[in-house]
Chain A
Amino acid sequence: MAKRYSALSLLRHALQPSSPWPRAWRSPAPKSSYDVVIIGGGGHGLASAYYLAANHGIKNVAVIERSYIGSGNVGRNTTIVRSNYMIGGNTPFFEFSLKLWEGLSHTLNFNVMLSQRGQIGLAHNPSQMDVLARKGNIMRLHGIDAELLDRGEVMKLLPYLDYSDAARFPVVGGIIQHRAGTVRHDAVAWGYARAASDLGVDIIENCEMTGFLMEQGKVVGIDTTKGRIRAGKTAIAVAGHSSHIAAKAGLRLPVESHLLQAFVSEPIKPLVHHVVSFGAELYYISQSDKGGLVFGGHIDGFANYSQRGQFPKVQTVAECAVSLMPCVSRLRLLRHWAGIMDMTPDGAPFIGRTPVPNLYLDGGWCYQGFKAIPASGWTFAHTIAKGEEHELNRCFSLDRFAKGGELDDHGSGNWTYKQ
């Protein structure tokens, strides 16, 4: 077991720089069989493995990661956590997730650097204010903090926005969730990996899953580049590639893979003290601890696995940035990247069982995959351990479209049936 991190251990290592920190998690060779094998060592896969061991005592678990821990979407996002969702199903789920985030550093004994700087959504006309008021009321009915802001209050909090008469989208007001904020994304992967490994979970990096092992229509394990691994239960947690992996078990999913781009500017002095989202377009911005402005916008709009974004979205996002904050117009973009998202027709994810016996799926994460990691892992582990859904992930079933149970929060899925 890895030594627990503490102020004392930090001091000891500072005074003895010649003694290296021990590896944060073990690096074992795969065993021939496990109770549960999880395909995908991203945030969701690692969190699921951790909660399987911590909450359900199922410790004979392997997480199979094609590359290295932190190489996928968990390290390729804008690190925002919040629970300001409006419709049934989403609201309690994301609030549960935010509550887990609030205690995560202590739970994992790993500083995930949660910064509850507050998230402000802006309104640009009175009807948007009405929508925000309704959203705030629904949140408060669920015990979630929400506060409406008038124009003057927004001006005080965000003095750098364009309030001039020439503003393309005048700011009428907004809504703030004070408990929302950001988390250090890499630390989430490292923290869950270390804590899961301490509980006995085998984390197997650089090991690609190549196919399912099927017997009498049931999944009984997987083939990998490091050999055959049998498993009582097999779970898919490979967001972005869910279709690709599920197809190996003969499953078609209600998913299209789309690209979502994000951007970081050159570092500047502290300017943006909150997470701010623009009500006129899908655009949001925050400032990292290094000083870079981190922001993103809509998906590119067509199915794509290439992890290479298209220029028109760069332009749209830059236009949003300058329209909202003219002061950033001369900043340079340091870098931008594209992550592959599982876009679903209703913009909500899948956490649960599949029609294939012994096969479980956590996928379909559109825009909300990062902030969902703790609750997703918690409920997915529950479903794997008990063979049935937790009350918080019952609405995220794979068959909800057949049953008329869409969760149409923002209509922000793949849009294909809206054209």
Chain B
Amino acid sequence: MLRITCPWCGERDYSEFRYGSEVKTRPAPGTGDLKTWHDHVFLFDNPKGPTREYWQHVLGCRQWLVLERDTATNAVGKAVPARDAASKSGAGR
């Protein structure tokens, strides 16, 4: 089974978590035309291979994480707090 290492709670089964979506950079509020927001909300890169995605530890600390995972092999990498990942990329969720 997929195991995710929560930065606060440690390694747990994925069934404790809820999947968000792949990490996308949200346009700043009040900016961008309809197409910009349509693309942000509805379109996905949906890569076959390494990706970064949001997960929430719903049955644990309820924190949002950014997880590195390979969608082709299910190999799981590091999980970091989403707020740290967001401050690095300058985007919020």
Q: Which of B1, B13, B56, B73 contacts A306 (CB 8 A)?
A: B73
- Complex contact A243–B74 (CB within 8 A): no
Asked if B88 CB lies within 8 Å of chain A CBs, one says: no
Report how far A305 CA is from B42 CA in the complex, Å: 20
Report how far A191 CA is from B15 CA in the complex, Å: 41
- Complex contact A254–B44 (CB within 8 A): yes
Q: Which of A255, A256, A312, A417 contacts B1 (CB 8 A)?
A: A312
Report how far A197 CA is from B70 CA in the complex, Å: 38
Which residues of B37-92 have CB atoms within 8 Å of chain A's CB atoms?
Answer: 38-39, 41-48, 51, 53, 55-56, 71-74
Asked if B2 CB lies within 8 Å of chain A CBs, one says: yes
Question: Nearest chain A CB to B71's CB is how many angstroms away?
Answer: 5
Which residues of A108-162 have CB atoms within 8 Å of chain B's CB atoms?
Answer: none
Asked if A13 CB lies within 8 Å of chain B CBs, one says: no
Report how far A310 CA is from B18 CA in the complex, Å: 14
- Complex contact B72–A247 (CB within 8 A): no
Question: Nearest chain B CB to A375's CB is how many angstroms away?
Answer: 25
Q: Which of A255, A304, A312 has the most CB of B within 10 A?
A: A304
Q: Give the residues in chain B near A273, CB-CB below 8 Å.
A: none
Taken residue by residue from 294 to 327, chain A's Cβ proximity to chain B (1 for < 8 Å, 0 otherwise) reads as: 0000000111111010111000000000000000
Known: A306-B72, A306-B73. Contact between A252 and B2, CB under 8 A? no
Majority secondary structure of chain B interface residues (helix, strand, loop or mixed): mixed
Question: Nearest chain B CB to A350's CB is how many angstroms away?
Answer: 12
Known: A306-B74, A311-B1. Contact between A255 and B46, CB under 8 A? yes
Asked if A371 CB lies within 8 Å of chain B CBs, one says: no
Residue of B nearest to A417 (CB): B41
Q: How large is the interface on B (under 10, 10 to 19, 20 to 34, 35 or more residues)?
A: 20 to 34
- Complex contact B74–A303 (CB within 8 A): no
Asked if A56 CB lies within 8 Å of chain B CBs, one says: no
- Complex contact A256–B43 (CB within 8 A): no
Report how far A263 CA is from B37 CA in the complex, Å: 40
Q: Give the residues in chain B near A303, CB-CB below 8 Å.
A: 19, 21-22, 44, 46, 51, 53, 71
- Number of A residues, CB within 8 Å of B: 27
Q: Which of A244, A255, A416 contacts B20 (CB 8 A)?
A: A416
Residue of B nearest to A257 (CB): B46
Asked if A6 CB lies within 8 Å of chain B CBs, one says: no
Question: Nearest chain B CB to A300's CB is how many angstroms away?
Answer: 9
Residue of B nearest to A415 (CB): B19
Can you report 29 A-B residue pairs in the complex whose CB atoms are below 8 A from each other?
A243-B48, A252-B44, A253-B43, A254-B43, A256-B21, A256-B22, A256-B46, A257-B46, A257-B48, A257-B71, A301-B19, A303-B21, A303-B22, A303-B44, A303-B53, A304-B74, A305-B71, A310-B2, A310-B14, A312-B13, A312-B15, A345-B42, A401-B38, A401-B41, A402-B38, A402-B42, A416-B20, A416-B21, A419-B56
Given contacts A302-B55, A303-B44, A414-B21, 11 further A-B contacts (CB under 8 A): A243-B47, A253-B43, A253-B44, A254-B44, A255-B46, A256-B22, A257-B48, A305-B71, A308-B74, A401-B41, A419-B18
CB-based closest 9 A-B pairs: A243-B46, A302-B19, A416-B21, A252-B43, A254-B42, A312-B15, A401-B42, A305-B48, A306-B74
- By a beta-carbon cutoff of 8 Å, the part of chain A in contact with chain B is 241, 243-244, 247, 252-257, 301-306, 308, 310-312, 345, 401-402, 414, 416-417, 419
